[in-house]
Chains A and B, each alone.
Chain A
């Protein structure tokens, strides 16, 4: 248990460093798509919502699980669509 948690902390710390490296290179012009794109990525919590749904036993828990999945899917679908909509607009000088 403690070992497993500690391993998780290792991964967390390393990933934060990777994140800092990756994100610092993104130019200010793309900061809004970056926000909405990373926001879409954080919709990965859908994985948790799916697993939790498959365990929900009572009606109340099922209702909560349903809400969790709706929220997470909204986050994923809306996030990716909006990011794509924005990125499509960026164009170089037209001839």
Chain B
């Protein structure tokens, strides 16, 4: 029986890997997700066979409640809310791992070998950080908490003190034997640490943080595997941990910043002394939607650059309508998507897919950047820092060195923007004052809808 169960766990792990492999192409991705779901079902059934039957009603009740809550929240969330939903579910995974560690602590209490202590403490530590860190990220993305970095005085010292406290409590119990008060203190400090780690991080850095928390939840699972000596958990946890780490690295690279700088740098506070020479206000050419339409319909090739502003204005359908109307006039339309546009990796792709924009029109930075120079028009919808030429031209700028979309190379650049307010870091954008740039102010969705209707009337 136990051999059978172990084999079922192995099959589950293989199904997860196959599922992830299928995610490498859009055609097979959905099957991949179903394969992975099958693996999950298999693992759950195998575990059910192993159980003694004690607390069965409790288990079933919890499963029913979790299924209900999970289904309702997953089906009701709008696509623009995906970053916070992923953060929330991620947090729950971490919380579950942390609770399992707590339960194991009390179950084995008195019999705990020093090595088991270490795995339980690590598992609780990472699990709690994942839970509270994700909840703070959720709060920021959902707008419950301010999206701006919240910087507490002496925060680096606080972090150091909390971390040494956790370490001391862990080492002490490993040597002197486990003690519930010390263990609970360790849990409480980890819970606090999760909050303090994410609270100073601003909205635009969320892609990095969500990827990192994703990785943590994987590591928490792997550590739970070590606590329970369950290889399925170890394999699966390390897959997820690796996935989160890769995404974190890609996001950091796309912002030209180190992970340490994102986590501890407090971006967006030092930027007040913004790049010199890029003073906005003067030299801005304001245009009406009608002017923009005139430029666009006389273009052969248009590249649309969406940013977080498109998500905020829920403008993805309006973007598609305009693109279709232009295609009807013979304009070739492509989309350029920066890795950190939006609030999580791939955020823009999902929104455009929701609006039925075919995915073969979506291109990432490396694929499309050389084409701006040959394109007639670039339309910027709610993007700012990812097209800021200061990243290339002004070594004094805080975003200097960040790879940007080369939109300024297009013959005409049309920027849809609510106002001249600078982006998240308070960095002014010299693109807006370039001679080939037209600014159309106002709500992106309204402007786009207006433009599409002008086109249709003609």
Contact = CB atoms under 8 A, between A and B. Distances in A.
User: Is B a genuine binding partner of A?
Assistant: yes
Q: How large is the interface on B (under 10, 10 to 19, 20 to 34, 35 or more residues)?
A: 35 or more
Interface string B221-234: 11011111111111
Interface in B92-132: 92-93, 95-97, 99-100, 102-104, 106-107, 113, 115-116, 119
Contacts of A61: 103, 106-107
B228 A48 contact: yes
Interface in A76-95: 76-94
A35 B215 CA distance: 10
Interface string A33-53: 111111111111111111111
A8 to B, nearest CB: 5
Interface in B313-341: 337, 339
A93 to B, nearest CB: 4
Nearest to B99: A68
Nearest to A25: B24
Contacts of A50: 44, 47-48, 51, 59
Nearest to B246: A23
Interface stretch (B14-22, B396-404, B414-422): B14-22
Contact of A69 (B62, B104, B214): B62
Interface string B144-159: 0000000000000000
B73 A42 contact: no
A78 B349 contact: no
B104 A37 contact: no
Given A29-B362, A32-B350, A52-B103, A68 B36 contact: no
B61 interface: yes
Contact of A37 (B20, B93, B95): B20
A45 to B, nearest CB: 5
A93 B100 contact: no
A73 B70 contact: yes
B4 interface: no
A16 B241 contact: yes
A44 B221 contact: yes
Contact of A22 (B20, B52, B74): B20
A11 to B, nearest CB: 5
A81 B104 contact: no
A12 B122 CA distance: 15
Interface residues of A, number: 81
Contacts of B350: 32-33, 86, 89
A30 B346 contact: yes
A77 B97 CA distance: 16
A62 B24 CA distance: 41
A42 B217 contact: yes
Nearest to B237: A42
A52 B435 CA distance: 66
Nearest to A73: B66
Contacts of A87: 29-30, 33
Interface in B24-70: 24-26, 29-30, 32-34, 36-37, 39-40, 43-44, 47-48, 50-55, 58-59, 61-63, 65-67, 69-70
B199 interface: no
B23 A44 contact: no
Contact of A70 (B66, B75, B228, B359): B66
18 contacts: A22-B17, A32-B346, A34-B345, A35-B244, A45-B93, A46-B96, A52-B104, A54-B52, A54-B53, A65-B62, A68-B103, A73-B62, A75-B92, A75-B93, A80-B33, A82-B89, A89-B354, A90-B26
Interface of A: 1-2, 4-5, 8, 11-13, 15-16, 18-20, 22-56, 61-62, 64-94
Interface of B: 12-13, 16-17, 19-21, 23-26, 29-30, 32-34, 36-37, 39-40, 43-44, 47-48, 50-55, 58-59, 61-63, 65-67, 69-71, 73-75, 77, 79, 82, 85-86, 88-90, 92-93, 95-97, 99-100, 102-104, 106-107, 113, 115-116, 119, 210-211, 214, 217-218, 220-222, 224-244, 246-247, 250, 337, 339, 344-347, 349-350, 353-354, 356, 358-362, 364
- Top 9 A-B pairs ranked by shortest CB distance? A73-B66, A19-B242, A31-B346, A77-B70, A69-B62, A31-B345, A32-B346, A68-B99, A78-B70
